[in-house]
Chains A and B, each alone.
Chain A
Amino acid sequence: MTMELFGVAVTLLAMFAGFGVLIGLLFGFFGMGGSFLVTPALMVMGYETDVAVASGLAFVFATSVIATLKHRDLGQVDYKLGVLMIAGTTAGIEVGKLGLHALQAIGLADTVVSVIYVGLLGGIGVFITYNAVTDDGDGDGGISHDADAEVDADDIPDIAKKIQSYRVPPMMNLRGGISVSLWMILAVAFATGLLSGFLGVGGGFIRMPALFYLIGVPVPIAVGTDLFEIVFSGGIGSFLYAMDGAVDLEIVVPLLAGSALGARLGAAATSLVDEDEIKVYFGVMLLLGSLAVAVRKIGNWFDVPELQTVSLVIILGAATLVAGAVVVSSVRELRSEEAAAASAAD
């Protein structure tokens, strides 16, 4: 006899809750990775596409609420920047969708979107990993909890310094003591929205690096502010799908129970793990993600359904690997802090 809770098999609830812990950890740590992981996994499990997309969105919405609250506690959300990003991103998404419809009309949408998606994921992954690996930072470990502390000029990427140098009024003062023109913020938000709308993705993997590399926001605040924006995009998206009854609570409720715990651990880990390590993990996630998407697309083009499973295995393997690395790095940092405190006391 199968044990049931709320009319759902306990084994299914436990499986989704366990999967939720893994996704929540990555989501809380990077501010991305929710629908990227959940939707393909649900489709491979046999759920209809609309149910997989809708349940993924509802899950992302709820997880981003939890992760944003946690980042807010750590002082890592810039609401002013978040609202400006929402405005610019929304306009960009609309224009991106127009571009997509134009490509659909000439029958090139799938090919062009797939190539750009894989290229962008892989390209950003290589760029971030290369930057983090070649960075000769002081490697002091850990990120300041004081989000309002002045950012060291050496920590601001060159592109962001260039963008900050355009002093077109009105200037906006952001967390971390940086000052950027309103028009530059809206332009970056519009560009990320354009890509997001064109590719039909949430855009966390574009927005988080854009906030850091283009605007110069410190990584923890970039993650927190990105999550704040996902609350709105995820909320609206899941509401629209829920109107058609596509959100399956049997999936969302247990996934969320696990991811709420994972998101708490992931958000806390951003305050422990060295910023360059975060970037390496993020870059590796994107690289493996791009490989998985490429494998899935090749499977679609050549009608090899087995490649869908291979793609899922790559995504889940990458997620498990990176989540494991985050946990190990956090524990190592805790231990070295404890050892330093003990030797200082001696």
Chain B
Amino acid sequence: MFGLENATGIDGALLVVGVVLVEAIILYVGYGILERIFGPAIVDALSGK
């Protein structure tokens, strides 16, 4: 995936772990934005308001 199938050694490991870390941060920020937009409505729906 992303052309990193054969990434090995220190440079390859840095790339792979870097991709995973960047994805984690993007997801954290992205889901955070979604939570701010849709969170209150979902909480209201779940609490039976």
Contact = CB atoms under 8 A, between A and B. Distances in A.
Interface of A: 6-8, 58, 61-63, 65-66, 69-70, 235, 238-240, 242-245, 247, 249-250, 252-253, 256-257, 260-261, 264, 331, 334-335, 337-338
A300 B45 CA distance: 48
A21 to B, nearest CB: 11
Given A58-B20, A256-B20, A331-B46, A245 B7 contact: yes
Contact of B16 (A7, A249, A256): A249
Contacts of B41: none
Interface in B18-33: 19-21, 23-25, 27-28, 31-32
Contact of A61 (B20, B32, B46): B20
A198 B7 CA distance: 31
Given A61-B17, A62-B24, 6 more contacts: A61-B20, A66-B28, A70-B28, A238-B16, A239-B13, A240-B13
A256 B10 contact: no
A245 B6 contact: yes
A244 B9 CA distance: 6
Given A235-B17, A334-B46, A242 B28 contact: no
B8 A244 contact: yes
Contacts of B13: 239-240, 242-243
Contacts of A239: 13-14, 17
Contacts of A335: 46-48
A275 B29 CA distance: 28
B21 A62 contact: yes
Contacts of B2: 6, 249
A260 B31 contact: yes
Contact of A249 (B1, B46, B47): B1
Contacts of A261: 27, 31
A240 B6 CA distance: 15
B12 A245 contact: yes
B40 to A, nearest CB: 12
B4 to A, nearest CB: 6
Given A66-B27, A260-B31, A245 B20 contact: no
Contacts of B12: 242-243, 245
Contacts of A243: 8-10, 12-13
B17 A334 contact: no
A58 B28 contact: no
Given A58-B16, A58-B20, A242 B7 contact: yes
Given A8-B1, A65-B25, A252 B20 contact: yes
Contacts of B25: 65
Given A7-B1, A66-B28, A247 B16 contact: yes
Contacts of B28: 65-66, 69-70, 260
21 contacts: A6-B2, A58-B20, A62-B24, A65-B25, A66-B27, A242-B12, A242-B16, A244-B8, A247-B17, A247-B20, A249-B1, A249-B2, A253-B19, A253-B20, A256-B23, A257-B27, A260-B24, A260-B27, A260-B31, A335-B46, A335-B48
